[in-house]
Structure formats: C-alpha cells, structure tokens
Amino acid sequence: MSLTTEVADEVSSPTRPAWGAVFAMAFGVFSLITAEFLPVSLLTPMAHSLGVSEGQAGQTVTITALVALFTSLVTGSVTRRIDRRIVMLVFSLLLIASALMVAFAADLTVILLARVLLGMAIGGFWTLSTAITMRLVPTEQVPRALSIVFSGISLATIIATPLGSYLGGLVGWRNIFMLTAGLGTVALLWQFFTLPAMPAENKARNGGVLALLRIGVMRWGMLAVIMMFTGHFAFFTYLRPFLESVAQLNLNQLSLVLLAFGVANFFGTSLAGFLVTRSVSLTLSGMALLMSVTALLLVSFGDVSWMVGAGVAI
C-alpha cells in the first residue's frame, strides 16, 4: 500500500497572483465544511422525519469521514493526468449533487449515498488544495494564500452548525440542504470563472504507509490521534440530541451553545498553533485530557445549564 502526495512543480509558480481564484478556493472550503457539519445541527429533525434513530442518522457524518479518508489516499494518483481546474470543478459538482440528493431523499439509504459523494469531494479537495493554491500565487505569497484558503474552515466551524440549527427550525432541514446546494453552485461558478487552466505538471511522491506503521512511535502516535479525533467527532455528532434530551435546551439556546462551540473551536485552533511550537506531546495530551474531563462533566451535570455551556466551550 502506498500513499501518493501531491506536490507542486517548482516551475508552475506564477509571476502574478490570482487572488480571485484563491478566494474561490476559500469559498469552496467553506461550502464543503458547511455541508459536512450540517447533519450535526440537524440530526434530531432529520431522524424524526426519516423515521430512524438519532444513532442511525449520525452515520451520515461517519460515512462522509470514512469516504474522505480513503479518497484522500487515491486522489493524487487517480487524477495525476487531469487538469487541476477540471478536478476542482468536479468536486464542486459532487457537493451540489450531494446536497440536492439529501434535500429530496425519501429515506436514509439515499442520504448515505449522497454523503458518499460529499466524502469524495472533501477527501479529494484536501489532497489537492495546498498544491493548487501554491500554483495560484508567487512563492513569496504562498503563506498568505494558504491562510486565506483555510480561513474557510474557521468561518464554517463558527457559523455552520448554529445557523443550520436556527434556520432548520424555521424552514426545515431539507431547505437547509437546498441552500447548501446554492453555496456549492456559487463555489462552482466562482471557480469556473477564476481558476486558470492548470495542466497536471506535478509529480507524485510515494511513501509507504505500512513502512511508517513499522515505526513504534508512529504506530502509537497515529493510534492516539485516531482515538482522540474519534472521540471528538462522536461528541460533536451527537451534541444536539444530548442538549435537547438531557440539558432540555430550546432551539434558541441550542443555537447559542453551538455558536459558542464554534467560536471556542476557532480560538482553540489558534492557540494550538502556538502551543505545539512549545511541546507537541503536552499539547496533544492536554487536548485529550480536556476532552475526557469535559465529557465526564457533561454526563454527570448535563442538566445544569451553566455547566453545559462551559463544558461545550471547553
């Protein structure tokens, strides 16, 4: 088994920056993350409407993540001969198709298939986005361009879940996914008119994943990270049902708590960038410890409003 990593060819760096294309990429990131997180804020009404349990509805998040993982491993090699502009447009089309399928789905099976398409778009986008961004601006402006592109993550994290929860209560969860299809359409058109042709002039660099797993430190480190992120997304996915059934929050309170979660997530990510420069092991260990303590506090004192707010923010 091998992992193919996309690397930009040095000669592809332009002399003039294509900032319109950079912002189009950022909007694409925002649209993808918004679509990925929406089921979290709409899990309860989706489950009730489809006649399934909240646990079953939560698999819409799981399958997206799994498909994104496997897609990220093969995208570089599968698309190595295709113009990168075309590849990115296809990912935006997958986002639109996924959102429309969810909006009109009659049952959970169709929604899961739709989320497979979204997982393909997310995994492929993350595999290629850095290399593509590096081909849009001169070398000295790459850090700024990357910060703009990935700011879409922070923005979506802050507003996607609370806004989805609030608007879902007003117009219904299916219409929220229709709006997401609209976001995808804007991203598609923006990319269509701003992304330049980018022939596949990059090269593949192969590294053995199995070889990495033979290294004890890497093996245990990867296992720890997998467990930590599994815990985080299990908590995040079922946060709304917990807040509604245990904390007894209404729609407005729920939206505010989800907003606090997004804002805290943004500041936590910013702080982590500083902390890892001091100690990677202590930072990761501290994150895992905080997550564990938070989960225990919420389970024990989930009916105490201020404890819920503090726990979610932490």
Q: How far is CA 301 from CA 265, 284, 307, in A?
A: 22, 26, 7
Q: How far is CA 39 from CA 32, 50, 152, 172, 302, in A?
A: 13, 13, 19, 12, 22
Q: Confidence class of residue 123 from pLDDT cuts 50, 70 and 90?
A: very high
pLDDT for 265:
73
Handedness of CA 275, 278, 280, 285 (dihedral sign): negative
pLDDT for 147-165, tens place per residue? 888 888 888 888 888 888 8
Mean confidence (pLDDT) of the chain: 83
Quick one: which of 6, 47, 7 has its CA closest to 238?
47
At position 162, the amino acid (one-letter code) is: P
3-state secondary structure of 206: strand
Q: Confidence class of residue 13 from pLDDT cuts 50, 70 and 90?
A: low
pLDDT for 201:
63
Here the tokens at position 256 are: 């505010």
pLDDT for 302:
61
**Are 213 and 219 a contacting pair, CB within 8 Å?**
yes
Q: Confidence class of residue 28 from pLDDT cuts 50, 70 and 90?
A: very high
Here the tokens at position 227 are: 């467990």
What is the β-pairing status of strands 203-207 and 3-7? antiparallel
pLDDT for 11:
40
pLDDT for 273-287, tens place per residue? 677 777 777 877 888
Quick one: which of 107, 148, 117 has its CA closest to 17?
148
Here the tokens at position 216 are: 């004890």
Here the tokens at position 33 are: 């993350």
* Calpha distance 312→258 (Å, rounded): 8
Which residue segments constitute the domains of the chain, with CATH numbers given?
A: 3-207 (1.20.1250.20), 238-313 (no CATH)
Rounded average pLDDT over 42-55: 91
The values of phi and psi at residue 3, to 5°, are -110, 125
